[in-house]
Amino acid sequence: MTATPARTGFRPSIRGLTSNPGYKLLSLGIALVAWLWVQGSQVIPARVRAQVVWTSPTGLMAVEALPASVTLTVVGPRHATRMAAQGEVRIPIDLSKSDQGPVSLDLSTFAIDGLPANLTVTDIEPSTLKFTLDSILAKKVRVEARTIGDPAEGWQVAAVDVDPQVVSIRGPRAVVSSVSTVATLPVDVSDFVEDAEQRVDLDLPRNTELVTDDPIRVSVDVEPRFVTLDLEAVPVQVWEGDGWTVDPATVRVVLQGPSEELSRIGDDDVVAFVHLPAEPTRKSYDPAYGPTSGTRLRVLHPGGDEVTVEAVTPARVKVTRP
């Protein structure tokens, strides 16, 4: 009984909302257009990037690097600032009639291309430019390869070569005249375990350039790092001989070779042998380390061909038998 009045009062409000739909849509459209117009015509400040297009005098160039762009602060309708931000705004600066020496420019005096007419420029950053024009000099200079990092453990850089070794650069005379070498950008040799070659760029002096576009290549050669292994007490034995006494019974042996190879050699892996005649006729001999034949002292180790014996101390022993 109490719900009926509520439903009766609700039905007219629904009819009010759904009646005359065309007029309501038209009103909504007018309101939307008015809002868009207000937003588009609203005057606001904005920052716009402008490309600087330079025309240099024949045979002259700036000692300092000239900016490729500047920042404009503009004021105007929102839609115009949006167009400027999305478009191509340029400031052409013609220096073709300038002479060698200092130059000072007030950027506010140059025309700006591509900026909508209903925008006003209130500031330019930077607003002035000061630089020096100098004659152009081309010169041949040596190229030096630069590396950073270290090869993998147990490896070292054996050689670094650059090709070409000489290049021609061009730039302001004040800069180029004092340059004799240019370096490559750093070549990272970290964890290298094999030779490598790569193309690199040069770390050129300010406001200079290469005369040609020939590629610069750096070759890095790596090799195993050679270290030493010092064994204080290597036992001395007589090769295929019994009853002989050796004095001293041990010698000091220093091995040299790649760290990876030497790391596998333990104290018990190395032994010194005395080689005597096949039919000894004497009761004592004084073999020495060094000879490759005859009576001699020889050191055996499990290392490869790159592992060498650098020293044996003492280099001579005495063997005797009763």
Q: So what's the pLDDT on residue 242? A: 87
pLDDT tens digits, one per residue of 162-204: 999 999 999 999 999 999 999 999 999 999 999 999 999 999 9
Of all residues in the chain, what percent are helix, strand and coil, respectively (each to 5)? 20, 45, 35
DSSP-assigned beta bridge partners for residue 309: 255
- What count of Cα atoms within 13 Å lies in the side-chain half-sphere of residue 126? 9
Q: State the angle between helix axes of 21-41 and 78-86 in degrees (0 to 180), rounded to the nearest 10.
A: 70
What pTM does this model have?
Answer: 0.61
DSSP-assigned beta bridge partners for residue 275: 296
Angle at 264 between CA 263 and CA 266, to 5 degrees: 95
Residue located via tokens 């600087």: 52
Distance of CA 25 to the CA centre of its chain: 62
Q: So what's the pLDDT on residue 14? A: 54
- Taking 70 as the pLDDT cut, the residues of the chain under it are 1-41
Closest CA to 112 of 59, 148, 157, 72: 72
**Could you tell me if 219 and 151 are in contact, meaning their C-beta atoms sit under 8 angstroms apart?**
no
**How far is residue 54 from each of residues 95, 131, 281, 286, measured CA to CA in Å?**
7, 13, 98, 87
Strand 166-172, strand 128-144: pairing: antiparallel
**Could you tell me if 315 and 258 are in contact, meaning their C-beta atoms sit under 8 angstroms apart?**
no
Residues 300 and 48: their CA atoms lie apart, in Å, by: 79
DSSP 240-283: T--S-EEESSEEEEEEEEEHHHHTT--GGG-EEEEE--SS--SS
Going by the DSSP 8-state scheme, the letter that residue 107 receives in this structure is: G
- Domains of the chain: residue spans and CATH: 41-126 (2.170.120.30), 136-224 (2.170.120.40), 226-320 (2.170.120.30)
Going by the DSSP 8-state scheme, the letter that residue 71 receives in this structure is: E
**Could you tell me if 128 and 106 are in contact, meaning their C-beta atoms sit under 8 angstroms apart?**
yes
CB neighbour list of residue 314: distance below 8 Å, 6 or more residues apart:
248, 251
Consecutive H or E run containing 33: helix 21-41
Rg of the chain on CA atoms, in Å: 43
DSSP-assigned beta bridge partners for residue 168: 140
Q: So what's the pLDDT on residue 204? A: 96
Q: So what's the pLDDT on residue 194? A: 93
What b/e string do you get for 115-154 counting C-beta neighbours within 10 Å, with b at 16 or more? Answer: bbeebebeebeeeebebebbebbebebebebebeeebeeb
**Could you tell me if 159 and 128 are in contact, meaning their C-beta atoms sit under 8 angstroms apart?**
no
pLDDT tens digits, one per residue of 51-98: 999 999 999 999 999 999 999 999 999 989 999 999 999 999 999 999
Q: So what's the pLDDT on residue 229? A: 95
